[in-house]
Chain A
Amino acid sequence: MPIISIGWQTSTDLIQVVKPFIWLVTVISALAIAEASDPGRELYLTAGGYGCGVCHGPVANGGGQAGGSIRGASRAAFDKALAEQPTMRLLVNALSQNDIAELSRYLVSLDKIPLVELEYSDLGWRITQQPIAKGQVVQLVVSNHSFADLVLNLQSFGFAATTITPLDTRVLEWKAEAGTFFLPDNELLVVSTNEVCEH
């Protein structure tokens, strides 16, 4: 079932996604509030005035940008980058120790969230997916690199069909149930019946 949609889309689209699942409204609201008030994610979207996502993608997934993926990056790796990398060094004075701690916590938390990336261009779909176990929260990052509207159909996941405008990127979150689910281009996403092991 879809639990929340985050990222660069309009709130109207978010409402369209959750509308059929009224019985989940209370849970969805609670999760949405938790997401919106996550100081680490808020910093990720705004740090330095432009946000980390410009270089590292909307959910630290890289997204084809120069900074690459930093999902799951440790505090030690973060400190090393701030000390050594020219682009990151400029951020040292813009981030407090508390900011760095919050950003690091957010990045580490992403390590437990499998990623499915769906990129559409004039050449068709390019899909990459990580192994997913039942019960895990999954982030589906959908990018429309084309110059036409893209109708996204992920109904087997419980999402209503939605339109992604040209050059936009959408991040959907989904709590994995065991089974087989249909991605675009007839690709399948298989969720094992094993519960995820917390570590």
Chain B
Amino acid sequence: MRLSLLALSFFASTVAAESITVYKSPTCGCCTEWIKIMESKGHDVKVEHPFNLQESKSQLGIPKQLASCHTAVIGDYLFEGHIPEQDILSFLADPPVGAKGLAVPGMPQMSPGMASPGQRYSGFRVIGFNADNQYWLANQY
């Protein structure tokens, strides 16, 4: 029984692991904290420091209303800011038709990478967006 649970756990973590490219500024500490969280969940994170971060966000297609400090790219999808890992996995498991990605705009105090370890996430929204700059509420903390 214990062996099968271990096997299940290993299988689940293997299935969930994603290859992530994160675009950030070298001066951003909270970006690094968010990356550490994603790596601790088993994801493979590659970090890029573009010369002009704001231009990079624009070229990737992040709406200015949704901007935060870092932009993560997984496959064809964009994930802007301090999004909880669980929301990213839920999105990737069943992406809404036409969706381009998710965002947590700005720097909410109690979001992953901003909150202290163990603190409950609260006080922010996870926003879904598409290429037509249409937005919807994906989750709320």
- Is the beta-carbon distance between A49 and B107 smaller than 8 angstroms? no
Interface size for chain B: under 10, 10 to 19, 20 to 34, or 35 or more residues?
20 to 34
A55 at the A/B interface (Cβ < 8 Å)? yes
**Which residues on the A side are within 8 Å of B135 (C-beta)?**
147, 166-167
- Inside 8 A of B133's CB, which chain A residues have their CB? 165
Establish whether residues B69 and A165, one from each chain, have CB atoms under 8 Å apart when the complex forms: no
Asked whether, in the complex, the Cβ of B64 is within 8 Å of the Cβ of A87, the reply is: no
- Chain B residue at smallest Cβ distance from A87: B29
Beta-carbon contacts under 8 Å, B89-129 to A: 105-109, 114, 127
What sequence of 0s and 1s flags, for each residue 161-178 of chain A, a beta carbon within 8 Å of any chain B beta carbon?
000011111000000000
Instruction: Chain B residues near A168: list those with CB within 8 A.
Output: 64-65
Residue of B nearest to A147 (CB): B135
Q: Which residues of A contact B137 (CB under 8 A)?
A: 147
Distance to closest chain B CB from A60 (angstroms): 14
Q: Is B54 an interface residue (CB 8 A)?
A: yes
Chain A: which residue is nearest B64 at the CB level?
A: A8
Given A54-B67, A66-B114, A147-B136, decide whether A49 and B106 contact each other with a Cβ distance below 8 A.
no
Which residue of chain B is the closest to A51 with respect to CB atoms? B54
Contacts of A94 in B (CB 8 A): 26-27
Q: Specify which of A50, A63, A64 is in contact with B25 (CB 8 Å cutoff).
A: A50
Q: Which of B26, B53, B106, B136 has the most CB of A within 10 A?
A: B106
B27, A91: Cβ atoms closer than 8 Å? yes
B-binding residues in A (CB < 8 A): 8, 46, 48-51, 54-55, 63-67, 86-87, 90-91, 93-94, 147, 165-169
Residue numbers of B with Cβ under 8 A of A are 24-30, 50, 52-54, 63-69, 105-109, 114, 127, 133, 135-137
Known: A46-B54, A168-B64. 12 other contacts (CB 8 A): A8-B65, A48-B25, A48-B28, A49-B24, A49-B25, A49-B53, A50-B28, A50-B68, A54-B68, A66-B108, A90-B28, A93-B27
6 contacts between A and B (CB under 8 A): A49-B50, A50-B25, A64-B106, A167-B63, A167-B127, A168-B65
